Structure 1
Amino acid sequence: MEQKDSAERILKQIPYEIVYSAHKTLAVQVKADGSVVVRAPKRMAKYKIEAFLKEKQDWIHTHREKALAAAEQKEANRLTEAERKAAVKRAAQMLAEKTAHFAKEMGVTYGRITIREQKTRWGSCSSAGNLNYNWKLVLMPEHVMDYVVIHELAHRKEMNHSARFYAVVAQQMPDYKVWQSWLKEHGREY
């Protein structure tokens, strides 16, 4: 009985939207802002939807917490225009220095460096050796910036993502997988 009461309390505490569709199955989605959307077949009784939500309450709670924490982190990372301009300038300087340092260590050359602001890309290397970096790298742990610089310079030896490419990266940064994973997990917070 206690579990049923807690499930009902959780459902009342978490507002959700029901979207009826031609699909034949129930599905629940937790959006980036923490809102919950239930997709249900047309004419499905509300008690069946609520039973489904009770069954999925742990999953909903876990994913909602993650989404809300990520949204909070993203908000904390917002900068004023003056702070953003200063960060872009600092990123350009740091990335130029790191690129020169690691290029020398790796025995590679490169063309021009461009600082950009992209949603999902942290760096790129053209076939001509021109490098693009996302300025938001300056907001992350320094090892992440090192990883991206090394990753892009490794393309000067291997223009792909093969095992040979990652061997070049690992030669320079043996623990690169830690920072690669960090970037995949936390990059969207920036």
Structure 2
Amino acid sequence: MLSYQLIRSAKRKTVGLQVKHGKIIIRAPKYVSEDDIANIVNSKSLWLQRKIAEQHAQPATQNNYYQKDSQLLINGELKTLDIHYGLFPEITLQQDIIIATLASKLKIKIADNVKSQDKYVKQQLEAWLKQQTHAYIDEKLSHFAEKIGVLPKSFKVRLYKSRWGSCNSRSELSFSSLLAMTPKWIIDYVIVHELCHLRHMNHSTKFWQLVALNYPNYGLAKTWLKSHQNQLQWPTI
């Protein structure tokens, strides 16, 4: 019997299986029994074991993710991180380099504390990724909404690590700031995906038909996200 982490929710209507960092996570409605969940896990055991093996075969996420010379995916391309100190904190891109400029006043506070510097770099990168994602979605959302024939009420961008987007019954959309790590055409797919949920709040055949009508290359986008999942991690410190 495979071991797993069970997360119950009163809002869920279906049982969802996920393998993350080599561990199985089950999300289930509160009314589903332990026996039923165990049966579902058993029925999917081969798939789950294959996913675990695939993730273990991938290179581990860098321990020095927020340190000088580490590599990050930005717009779908690997960038080498450089760290400077200056008057104002900012993030800039120069060809294949992403430069994190920390405020000079932090230099004395941080001193030789590498972990402390990592924290500030992480915070700055997170704010920049959020800004980049928000700006792009703000530019493209109305175009795709008009094309699909829907009207979202609002959208927000947050640091979601386990999903790229979501849509609720109030027509409010949410997107992960980590989308700035992916190519623009991937963000387009996620926008279309969530907008289509305004018509179909599920992943039915009709939903995917609507996605295909408005984003024919959705299969390529799903494959890209899957094949780059290990590079799209955002480690804690």
TM-score band w.r.t. shorter chain: 0.5 to 0.7
Structure 2 counterpart SS, 1:109: coil
- Report Cα offsets for 1:53-109 as digits up to 9, x if no partner: xxxxxxxxx9699422x5259932287232331221111111122211100111110
Structure 1 counterpart SS, 2:193: helix
CA–CA separation in structure 2 for the residues paired with 1:176 and 1:73: 33
C-alpha spacing 1:74/1:139, structure 2 compared with 1 (3 Å): farther
CA–CA separation in structure 1 for the residues paired with 2:55 and 2:207: 37
CA–CA separation in structure 2 for the residues paired with 1:74 and 1:133: 26
Q: Give the equivalent residue in structure 1 for 2:136.
A: 94
Which protein has the larger Cα radius of gyration, Structure 1 or Structure 2? 1
CA contact (8 A) 2:154 2:172 kept: yes
Q: Give the equivalent residue in structure 2 for 1:53.
A: none
Q: Give the equivalent residue in structure 1 for 2:174.
A: 132
Equivalent in 138, 146, 152 of residue 104 of structure 1: 146
How far did 1:188 drift?
A: 4.0
Q: Give the equivalent residue in structure 2 for 1:165.
A: 207
Q: Give the equivalent residue in structure 2 for 1:84.
A: 126
C-alpha spacing 1:178/1:111, structure 2 compared with 1 (3 Å): same
CA–CA separation in structure 2 for the residues paired with 1:161 and 1:86: 32
Higher relative helix content: 1
CA contact (8 A) 1:118 1:134 kept: yes
- TM-score normalised according to structure 2 size: 0.49
Asked if residue 120 in structure 1 is aligned to residue 162 in structure 2, the reply is yes
Q: Give the equivalent residue in structure 1 for 2:58.
A: 67
- Report Cα offsets for 1:22-58 as digits up to 9, x if no partner: xxxxxxxxxx69xxxxxxxxxxxxxxxxxxxxxxxxx
- TM-score normalised according to structure 1 size: 0.61
| Superposition CA RMSD, Å | 2.8
CA contact (8 A) 2:129 2:177 kept: yes
Consecutive unaligned residues of structure 2, counting only runs of 5 or more, are: 1-20, 23-52, 66-70, 73-80, 82-99, 101-120, 233-237
